[in-house]
Every structure is written in structure tokens, then in C-alpha cells.
Amino acid sequence: MQSRRLSLGLAAGAIAVAVVLFIVLKGDDGSDSTSAAGPTKITFRNGAPVGGVREIEVAKGDPVRLDVTPDVPAEVHVHGYEVAREVEADQTAKLEFPATAEGVFEVEVHHLVNGEEESGVQVAELNVTP
């Protein structure tokens, strides 16, 4: 009888340890917030974004983080937020700002020729939800 109680106690303890380990190892998948997420990385090949136009969705108030690496001198520009960075070819423009306005915004790379903006290439669509 005492060995049966001991076996049940050990089994209950093992289950409790398994549950705790599952919770600890599972961790937070980050689905509730993008604040811990790394930047969206966009690179260029032959003047175009690798993988096409990216779709980025964040909640209002979350940080937006973009690392854009064009293969020509360019200005990276987020329409509606008026956030822009000039960058040399094969260098990374790092943009970070809070998502303060709701809506859909284009992220473009404007090629620079002699310091002047040329046509823009859309690289992402930023969707900020309530």
C-alpha cells in the first residue's frame, strides 16, 4: 500500500514537472506584440527587392523596425510617416519609429542619381491596425 502511494506521488510529481517545463520551454511566441520582434530585413538584387513587396502588419503603438539594403545609392522613405534615410549602395538603412497612425502606408526606395531622387520602387506595405 505504501509503495502504491509512493508510485502515485512520484507520478504526480513527474506530471507537475512536465507541465512546468512545457510552460517554461514554450515561452512567449511574440504573437501579441511586435515589440520584441527583430527588424524586417529587405535586400535588393538588380534594383529590385528580393522576394518582392513585403507585407508588414503591426498594431497602433507598436514599434516599426526596418533594415533596408539597396544595391544602389538610395533614399528609403515611409509614406505617411515622412520617415526617410539616405544610404549608399550595399549599406543598410535602419529605420525605427512608433506606429502612431492607422492605415496602409507604402515603403519605397528612391534611387539617387547625382544626389537627386529618381523613381521609387515599392518594397513594403505597412498596415497599422487599431
pLDDT of residue 69: 95
Q: Which domains does the chain have, with CATH numbers?
A: 40-129 (2.60.40.420)
pLDDT of residue 110: 87
E strands, 12-115, where? 40-45, 48-49, 54-59, 63-69, 74-78, 83-87, 93-98, 103-113
Q: What is the pLDDT of residues 4-44, one digit of tens each?
A: 554 544 444 445 434 333 433 434 333 333 344 678 999 98
The rounded distance, in Å, linking the Cα atoms of 99 and 33 is: 12
Write down the pTM of the prediction. 0.66
The rounded distance, in Å, linking the Cα atoms of 80 and 101 is: 8
Q: Which three cell numbers stand for residue 120?
A: 521609387
Q: Considering only CA atoms, give the Rg of the chain.
A: 24
